[in-house]
Amino acid sequence: MASTKRIPMIAGNWKMHLNSKEAADLAAAIRKGLDADLKHEVLLAPTFTSLHAVKAALAGSKIILSSQDIAWEEKGAFTGAVAPSQLIDAGCTAAIIGHSERRKVFLETDEMINKKLKAAIKAGLVPVLCIGETLEERESQRTYRVLETQLIGAFSGITAAEAVKVVIAYEPVWAIGTGKTATPDQAQDAHVFVRRQMERVYNKAYADAVRVLYGGSVKADNVDELMSQPDIDGALVGGESLKADKFLRVIHFQTVLTR
């Protein structure tokens, strides 16, 4: 089964929470609580201002440090933006791109997300590309069309070889921070669709290998069921990643399937 080759990833998106000391303490507590033989990848995405402190707290560990956003230019007059090389300088090896909050609150378009994805790839960062439909889009049966548009837009002009490190996070907007999780079946269906779409964009080998995380109210008490779905390769976790004990339980999920 192809899924056995996909290494699960559990990612914590701390959004605009925690000062640098709190972030470093949380990172240290998560690091301390990891099983020594954990095979999954763990990623932490603090705010820009906490990157240095978290990097120090993670020094020597395998935990991946990620930004929550990235600029598509390398330098210049872009007030407020942070360039790929600056993220690398701060210790990042990954970048979250196109989170629904960036799309909705900061009006990021598929075109901007495409440029960010290209910039992250060029810099050698692991992009965690977020896609997902709003409640209105789901209720008007447009979920798949929206996901298709977002994926085609994001990967435009990028080859399969260039896209090899990309991790996709399917995050239904209506499930983010609402306590409403997609049912495991709803998530599995969307993940299968994403994989099929990536087969169309690239090829079957790519689609079988790409990791698709689920995000949206993932909690310690629903992660096992979600991670038991064959096409869910991990989780992008917001609120629950701010509590070390809960997030550690998410990281150490248990599935009923052999992966």
Which residues are marked as active site?
99, 171
User: Which lies closer to ligand PGA via its Cβ, residue 120 or residue 250?
Assistant: 250
Does position 127 bind ligand PGA by CB under 6 A? no
User: Which lies closer to ligand PGA via its Cβ, residue 94 or residue 201?
Assistant: 94
Between residue 142 and residue 201, which ones bind ligand PGA under the rule CB under 6 A? 171, 176-177
Interface region with ligand PGA, contact rule CB under 6 A, candidates 70-78, 151-159, 160-168, 235-243? 235-243
Scored b (16 or more CB within 10 A) or e, 236-253 reads: bbbbbbbebebbbbbbbb
CA–CA dist 184, 133 (Å, integer) = 16
Does position 132 bind ligand PGA by CB under 6 A? no
CA–CA dist 74, 70 (Å, integer) = 10
CB of 157 to ligand PGA, least distance (A): 26
User: Which lies closer to ligand PGA via its Cβ, residue 14 or residue 193?
Assistant: 14
Q: How many residues bind ligand PGA (CB under 6 A)?
A: 13
Binding-site string for ligand PGA from residue 3 to residue 42, where x marks contact by CB under 6 A and - marks none: ----------x-----------------------------
CB of 189 to ligand PGA, least distance (A): 19
Among 167, 162, 132, 136, which residue's Cα sits nearest to residue 148? 132
Interface region with ligand PGA, contact rule CB under 6 A, candidates 27-35, 137-145, 182-190, 211-219? 211-219
**Contacts with ligand PGA, residue ranges (CB under 6 A):** 13, 171, 176-177, 215-218, 236-240
